[in-house]
């Protein structure tokens, strides 16, 4: 990751366009028109050996013929000419190039490498190829084919050309501006990591909006994202991954969704992931107008009790809190509101509320120390005029800003068709929304950013000093399996690896024959009988051959069951090699709570730890959350809390609380094993039985 020469992309002293055509609607002509119309103050040159001029702009045959050497070159020429053009531009002094030209289908990879190689040879940076261009509104630069964006404090980085143009159009209609806009195309050189680094330290950028289709280098991306999110909000929309599940042959293939893995990675990086473009627009409206939030206690003011409660429902669902007013506030509201109104939160102003009532109620709410933000809702009504009420809201917000810094944010949802309230509110930097639910959701984006930053900066709980894994011992077990060409660890290797990390497991015996299984069963059999499992490197899912039986009550039953397993394997999978059997004591669900713990291999982010409800119906219940290793105890407990099964560990319906601390520590140990031994691609512990603390 490097920001070298990116100033030439966003603050160039001079620009040149290489390519173009006089033909109406051609890409080069559109770019030339946008460059000229944007009001860029520096020289704009045109290099084109085939046309003497385009739209009245005289063209030079070569970069050396330009009066002013360009800082930035925009290339719209045919693909075969691009590498030579980039190198020639660099030889003439250009420090960056934006390559709009699409990579040809058959030779796309070689084209990208040739273009990037030409840039590297001359020490240039290259955006693209195949991009829609860049904009730097504060420099009055529109080196793109999109409409010119307004100047503002949001950076927009998009892997989709359509998303970029849609967001610009939406923002222009709402007077929301940008510090920079980039369509980064194929990322032959400048990638999303470089751009995050650049805008994280850009003084004109208050927040970053990011649209991604896919991530090519997860460690680099997460490092850049984490660094940027420590400084300012980074709001992300990501398209669904091409692979719908993490790789795996076991239960993970059904339980570990690749999109949930991406969520875990973004959460770990401090990014605010939103579901879709609509929610990204809400986040943009919020971040463009409002300073950071210091809490999540919200006062709701509405002229409709129903709409106020809708706002409250969405607020609570997203983790917000309804502020509880102090006595002075309740008294003031009681004097302000009509008899049918309500001074409880949400405050009901009644349907005939005018600007005076809105202003007085909002003044009282914002003055209360137990309120961190306010959400104002207005339902259209002939007896409650929208525009004057919007004016009252802006004036109350302005009074509050004078009393306190940082000011308490005010959000507004005006539901009528009248366009005036939007103009009034957004001009006063009060975020405007069309529904109370959208306003509540927009407000919670600020809360999520504050919480994400706090999580990034928090000192994690220390790992227990008693946990000292014997990595060398576990590695011996893994290397023994690899040396034999095995895809799966044998039961003895599994026991060795778990024992090296002090992970609790049931006693077991690995035996070769049904008779041997019967011989050891008596010693291992608990009050609930024994468990028998067939062992084969060719049968990763024992259920396919009925290869697991529980509750076997005698050595004779163990031996007979083992022989029956061998017969089924011979019938269903005759080529499978049989190593033997594992015998363990049987543990039933009423001995404790059945959980699931696994490690899966995600194709983008690598190993992930999965936790949730276990047992035979784990796939049907699908109560699983994921986290990226390594874990500390804080992350392990967060992972537990994100599942219903984890929350039930505290006891329910007369069942005593399970040993949650032991579960968290086991999660930590298995996660560390996955980090220390990357050769282990999949782990499945089902069930992990959580029993009450001793």
Instruction: Tell me the pLDDT tens digit for each residue of 96-106.
Output: 999 999 988 77
Helices (H), 416-470: 420-427, 436-457
Query: 7-284: CATH homologous superfamily?
Result: Succinyl-CoA synthetase domains (3.40.50.261)
Q: Give exposure, 504-518, as e/b (b: 16+ Cβ within 10 Å).
A: eeeebbbbeebebbb
Confidence check: pLDDT of 254 > 80: no
Confidence check: pLDDT of 453 > 70: yes
**Range with the largest mean pLDDT of 66-80, 230-244, 520-534:** 66-80
Cis amide bond preceding 406, omega within 30:
yes
pLDDT of residue 245: 46
Segment 5-29 shows an average pLDDT of 92
**DSSP string of 94-132, one letter each residue:** --EEEE-SPPPSTTHHHHHHHHHHHHHHTT-EEE-SS--
The C-alpha atoms of residue 43 and residue 72 are separated, in whole angstroms, by: 11
pLDDT of residue 469: 93
Band (pLDDT 50/70/90 cuts) for residue 515 is very high
pLDDT of residue 440: 94
Residue 45 forms beta bridges with which residues? 16
Give the 3-state secondary structure of residue 150: coil
The C-alpha atoms of residue 336 and residue 342 are separated, in whole angstroms, by: 10
The C-alpha atoms of residue 243 and residue 252 are separated, in whole angstroms, by: 14
Percent of residues, the chain, with pLDDT higher than 70: 97
How does the average pLDDT of the chain come out, rounded? 91
Provide the sign of the torsion angle of the four alpha carbons 524, 530, 534, 540, taken in this order: negative
Q: pLDDT of 557-586, one tens digit each?
A: 999 999 999 999 999 999 999 999 999 998
Q: Are 629 and 597 in contact (CB under 8 A)?
A: no
pLDDT of residue 241: 66
Segment 419-435 shows an average pLDDT of 93
Percent of residues, the chain, with pLDDT higher than 90: 71
The C-alpha atoms of residue 595 and residue 670 are separated, in whole angstroms, by: 14
The C-alpha atoms of residue 82 and residue 85 are separated, in whole angstroms, by: 5
pLDDT of residue 620: 82
The C-alpha atoms of residue 106 and residue 354 are separated, in whole angstroms, by: 66
The H or E element spanning position 253 is: helix 252-255
Domain assignments of the chain as residue spans, ordered by start: 7-284, 290-457, 471-585, 590-690
Q: pLDDT of 340-392, one tens digit each?
A: 999 999 999 999 999 999 999 999 999 999 999 999 999 999 899 999 999 99
Domain 590-690 carries which CATH code?
Answer: 3.30.470.20
Q: pLDDT of 191-250, one tens digit each?
A: 999 999 999 999 999 999 999 988 989 999 999 999 999 999 999 998 876 554 445 545
pLDDT of residue 249: 44
Segment 439-451 shows an average pLDDT of 88
Q: Are 546 and 532 in contact (CB under 8 A)?
A: no
Segment 620-631 shows an average pLDDT of 92
Which residue did the predictor score with more confidence, 18 or 282?
Answer: 18
Domain 290-457 carries which CATH code?
Answer: 3.40.50.261
pLDDT of residue 37: 96
**290-457 shares the fold of 7-284:** yes
pLDDT of residue 279: 86
pLDDT of residue 509: 92
Q: Are 580 and 537 in contact (CB under 8 A)?
A: no
**CATH number among 3.30.1360.200, 3.30.1490.20, 1.20.1050.140, 3.30.870.10, domain 471-585:** 3.30.1490.20
Confidence check: pLDDT of 289 > 70: yes
Segment 648-672 shows an average pLDDT of 92
pLDDT of residue 668: 95
Q: For residue 369, which phi and psi values (nearest 5 degrees)?
A: -65, -20
Tokens 């083992």 correspond to: 562
Segment 581-598 shows an average pLDDT of 86
**Range with the largest mean pLDDT of 191-205, 276-290, 517-531:** 191-205
């Amino acid at each position: 990751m490097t920001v070298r020469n990116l100033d030439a992309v966003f603050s160039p002293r001079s620009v040149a366009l290489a390519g173009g055509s006089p033909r109406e609607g051609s890409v080069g002509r559109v770019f030339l028109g946008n460059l000229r119309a944007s009001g860029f103050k520096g020289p704009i040159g045109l290099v084109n050996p085939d046309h003497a001029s385009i739209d009245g702009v005289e063209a030079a045959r070569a970069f050396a013929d330009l009066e002013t050497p360009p800082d930035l070159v925009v290339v719209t020429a045919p693909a075969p000419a691009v590498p030579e053009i980039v190198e020639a531009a660099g030889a003439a002094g250009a420090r960056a190039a934006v390559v709009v030209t699409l990579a040809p289908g058959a030779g796309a990879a070689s084209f990208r490498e040739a273009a990037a190689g030409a840039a590297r040879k001359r020490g240039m940076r290259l955006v693209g190829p195949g991009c829609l261009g860049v904009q730097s509104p504060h420099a009055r630069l529109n080196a793109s084919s999109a409409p010119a964006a307004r100047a503002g404090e949001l950076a927009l980085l998009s892997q989709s050309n359509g998303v970029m143009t849609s967001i610009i159009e939406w923002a222009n209609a709402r007077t929301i501006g940008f510090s920079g806009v980039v369509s980064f195309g194929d990322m032959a050189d400048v990638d999303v990591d470089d751009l995050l680094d650049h805008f994280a330290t850009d003084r004109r950028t208050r927040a970053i909006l990011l649209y991604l289709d896919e991530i090519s280098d997860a460690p680099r991306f997460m490092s850049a994202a984490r660094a940027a999110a420590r400084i300012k909000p980074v709001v992300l929309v990501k398209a669904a991954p091409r692979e719908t599940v993490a790789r795996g042959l076991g239960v993970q293939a059904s339980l570990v969704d690749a999109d949930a893995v991406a969520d875990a990675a973004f959460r770990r990086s401090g990014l605010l992931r939103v579901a879709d473009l609509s929610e990204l627009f809400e986040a943009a409206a919020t971040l463009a107008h409002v300073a950071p939030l210091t809490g999540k206690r919200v006062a709701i003011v509405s002229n409709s009790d129903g709409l106020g409660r809708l706002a409250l429902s969405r607020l609570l669902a997203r983790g917000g809190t309804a502020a509880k007013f102090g006595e002075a506030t309740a008294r003031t509201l009681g004097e302000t509101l009509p008899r049918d109104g309500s001074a409880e939160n949400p405050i009901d102003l009644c349907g005939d509320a005018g600007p005076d009532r809105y202003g007085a109620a909002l003044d009282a709410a914002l003055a209360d120390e137990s309120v961190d933000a306010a959400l104002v809702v207005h339902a259209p009504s002939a007896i409650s005029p929208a525009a004057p009420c919007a004016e009252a809201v802006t004036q109350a917000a302005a009074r509050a800003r004078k009393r306190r810094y940082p000011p308490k944010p005010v959000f507004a949802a005006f539901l009528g068709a009248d366009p005036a309230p939007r103009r009034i509110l957004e001009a006063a930097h009060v975020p405007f929304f069309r529904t109370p639910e959208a306003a509540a959701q927009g407000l919670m984006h600020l809360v999520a950013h504050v919480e994400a930053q706090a999580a990034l900066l928090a000192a994690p709980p220390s790992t227990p000093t008693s946990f000292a894994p014997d990595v060398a011992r576990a590695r011996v077990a893994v290397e023994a399996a690899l040396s034999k060409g095995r895809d799966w660890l044998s039961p003895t290797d599994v026991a060795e690896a778990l024992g090296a990390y002090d992970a609790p497991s049931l006693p077991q015996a690995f035996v070769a024959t049904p008779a041997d299984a019967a011989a050891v069963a008596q010693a291992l059999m608990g009050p609930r009988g024994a468990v028998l499992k067939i062992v084969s490197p060719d049968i990763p899912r024992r259920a396919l051959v009925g290869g697991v039986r529980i509750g076997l009550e005698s050595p004779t039953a163990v031996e007979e069951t083992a022989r029956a397993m061998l017969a089924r394997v011979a019938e269903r999978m005759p080529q499978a090699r049989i190593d033997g059997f594992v015998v363990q004591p049987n543990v039933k669900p009423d001995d404790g709570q059945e959980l699931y713990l696994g490690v899966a291999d995600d194709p983008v982010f690598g190993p992930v730890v999965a936790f949730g409800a276990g047992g035979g119906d784990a796939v049907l219940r699908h109560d699983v959350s994921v986290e990226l290793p390594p874990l500390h105890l804080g992350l392990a407990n967060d992972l537990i809390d994100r599942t219903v099964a984890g929350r039930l560990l505290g006891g329910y319906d007369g069942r005593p609380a399970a040993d949650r601390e032991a579960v968290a520590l086991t999660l930590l140990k298995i996660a560390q094993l996955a980090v220390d031994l990357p050769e282990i691609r999949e782990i499945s512990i089902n069930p992990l039985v959580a029993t009450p603390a001793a």
